[in-house]
Structure 1
Amino acid sequence: MKQIILASLILMILPRAAFTEEIDAAAGEALMKLNREFINAHAVARKLNLETGGPIILLQDGKLVLVRNGAETTSEIILTEYDTVKVFAHMPVAIYLMLGPPGAGKLDTQRLQQLAEYHGQIDRVEKQIEHIGLEGESLKRQKQLLADSRKFLETVIQRQEFSTEELYAFTRSMLPMIQANIAEAAASQLDAMHRQVMAWKKEMTPEEWQKLRVSVKGAVLARDGNLAMQYFERLLNLEGPGMRLIYMERYVPPTPMLTLLATRSVDRGISIAFFDNPDRMFRDVLADAAAAHIREMKFD
């Protein structure tokens, strides 16, 4: 009798379990379809916003892109001068990176070879220095950067060792020339950007200009004090990012989280070695120079 009752209970339970699974599947599908409608509605709303929200300027990868009336117009704003002075500013930093992070003391064969190869690259640039498109004080400064960097490398290679104190003496002696290059690079980029934006402004109606929105794409650690963000805040009389101005961080593949972690650590060392400030590299390296140049620009 007990077996019959148990079998009956099992039979009663089984159909109910199957029915519950059907309900769960149906409920899941209904929720998925409901959320799909939200996603579709959001996509439609975004499309409408882009079509009716006025002109947009995008800054990414050294280019300005104007999106207006369904068309895109692209303009290069990173000029040759910017890239050239940036390369020379990076030279003492490259030497620091070859020495500082691995540590002071005796140099093994591999590091000596690396330093010798870099010395050879400096030598080749020195021989072509008159043909890089710079002149006056800027050209003189690049020659000095090359000469001082070459001299320091020769000393280290000859002795096959160095101390942290010697390295910091070198890096900090390079800082004034690096900062001058930074100021030159910032001015070059800002002036090129301003010329193009003002030309586009002349093509817009006052109503379009009031609706203009801007999106800037840049490096993670350059968010604070970003040159372009400073410029567009001043241009549009804004007090910071908001509905008319946004910043999108650019990550480096393939492992952005690990890359960011390592970058912060390495850049902290650069900050100390050159600026004697552990946090200086955690904002746009052009930030201070950009702020100074923007104060001198005419926006009327």
Structure 2
Amino acid sequence: MNTNSKKNGWCLSILLTAMLCTGWQKPSAAEEQNQLSALNNKFREFYAAARGHEIEASTPLILCYADRLVLLNGSQREEVANIKDRYTTFKTVAHIPLALYCLLYKEPTIELSRQKLLDFKALVERARSELKDHDLSMKELDRQYKMVDACLTFIDKALAQKQISAKELQEFTRSLRSDILQNAYLAVSSQLAIIDQTVGNWRQKLGKDFDKIKIVIIGGHMPRLRNSNFQYFCRLLKEKEEGNRIIYMEGLNSESDALNLLGTHILDEGVAVSFFSDKWRMHRDLLSDGAAQYLKEHPPLTGK
């Protein structure tokens, strides 16, 4: 045996002796899994810290809720309501026929909903008497009366007939379509005018810092497509799509949720560029390419 072989043998003997003396055992599968979990948790910790850094550096920022705007600039915070009486009035009147549809579309006979109809009629009549006290022109007021009266007439018809066919309900709802859309236009015009004035004031206050502004729009799932506030900020910032300076958040509505989403967008853009040379790559599921390849090779329910 040569010197190197003897040396290697001694080293192995020493190592085995040390392992026996210290009670060394091969890690169990559970322990190895725990180490993987710990490793993944450490990634989450680093990611959260990096995201927090991006949040701190992200101002000035405008959070656009359905009913208010919030400007965050360093430690400063300013909030302005973007809904006033006109918006609420136009939208509420437009909701009257929608409420009737929701009540009647599944009930061809009225007996099951008769008391609800009577109660709703009384509520509509009380609201009608208050319309004159709201910020409407005479022409606008007359059109609201027309819509309300059409709804009251339909309620009386339903109560008298004791049933409403699907055809009758559809004829009623479609007869009010143009008025509903006009109310929607007037409501959103009121809101966007307030938003524009508020953003103009903030732009003047921020000066050159306004050029760095980012927007998070907090809204629901259904109004996401062509969302009115999203359209406004796209026009303002000359953005054609979401994800760069404008982010749409649905399903969550707290300020911390909005900040975390913004931080995620900014951090993931850096990740996407660093890993994939494509700043939009993290805007789709990281697993998406693999999923597409797998499903191409293994179509669902084919047994392949």
Instruction: Give me the TM-score of the superposition, normalised by structure 2.
Output: 0.71
- The question of whether the paired residues in 2 share the 8 Å contact of 1:115 and 1:153 is answered with yes
User: 1:85-141 CA distances to partner (integer Å, 9 max, x unpaired)?
Assistant: 111001011111111133x3x322x31111111111112122223223323222111
- Do 1:86 and 1:185's aligned partners in 2 also have CA atoms closer than 8 Å? yes
Give CA deviations for 1:61-107 in whole Å, capped at 9, x if unaligned. Answer: 411111112222111111121111111001011111111133x3x32
CA-CA distance at 1:174 after TM superposition: 0.8
SS at match of 1:32: helix
Q: Which residue of 2 aligns with 1:172?
A: 174
Q: For residues 226-245 of structure 1, what are the structure 2 equivalents within 5 Å?
A: 226-245=227-246
Q: Is residue 100–residue 164 contact of structure 1 (8 Å, CA) maintained in 2?
A: yes
Of all paired residues, the percent bearing the same amino acid is 28
User: Does 1:190 pair with 2:192?
Assistant: yes
Structure 2: tracts of 5 or more residues without a match = 1-19, 254-304
What secondary structure, in the 3-state scheme, does the structure 2 residue paired with 1:246 have?
strand
Contact 1:220 1:251 in 2 (8 A): no
Among 202, 205, 213, which residue is 1:203 paired with? 205
Task: Return the match for 2:43 from 32, 38, 43.
Answer: 38
- Which is worse superposed, 27-36 or 73-82? 27-36
TM-score, with structure 1 as normaliser: 0.72
Number of residue pairs matched by the alignment: 231
Residue type at the aligned position of 1:123: E
Report which of the two structures shows the higher radius of gyration computed on alpha carbons.
Answer: 2
Q: Of 83, 86, 92, which aligns to 1:87?
A: 92
Matched to 2:197, the amino acid is R
**Which residue number corresponds to residue 110 of structure 2?**
107
Counterpart position of 1:220: 221
Q: CA deviation at 1:250?
A: 2.4
- 1:1-300 equivalence runs, <5 A: 19-20=25-26, 22-102=27-107, 104=108, 106-108=109-111, 110-206=112-208, 208-250=209-251
Q: Which runs of 4+ in 1 moved over 3 A?
A: 22-26
Distance 1:129 1:195, change over 3 A: same
> CA 1:251/1:151 → structure 2, altered by over 3 Å: closer, same or farther?
farther
CA distance in 2, matches of 1:41, 1:251: 24
Contact 2:63-2:216 at 8 Å conserved across structures: yes
Contact 2:121 2:152 in 1 (8 A): yes
SS of corresponding position for 2:176: helix
* Partners of 1:32 and 1:53 in 2: CA distance: 31
Question: In 2 relative to 1, CA 251–112 (structure 1 residues): closer, same or farther, beyond 3 Å?
Answer: farther
Question: Hey, what's the Cα distance between the residues in 1 that align with 2:244 and 2:52?
Answer: 17
Shift of 1:182: 0.4
> SS of 2:59's equivalent?
coil
- 1:67 match: secondary structure: strand
SS of corresponding position for 2:25:
helix
The separation in 1 between residues aligned to 2:191 and 2:175, in whole angstroms, is 26
Q: Which residue of 1 aligns with 2:265?
A: none
Query: Where does structure 1 lack aligned partners over 5 or more consecutive residues?
Result: 1-14, 253-300
Alpha-carbon offset, residue 23 of structure 1: 4.0
Distance in 1 (CA, whole Å) between partners of 2:25 and 2:60 is 55
Query: How many Å separate the matches in 2 of 1:138 and 1:220?
Result: 31
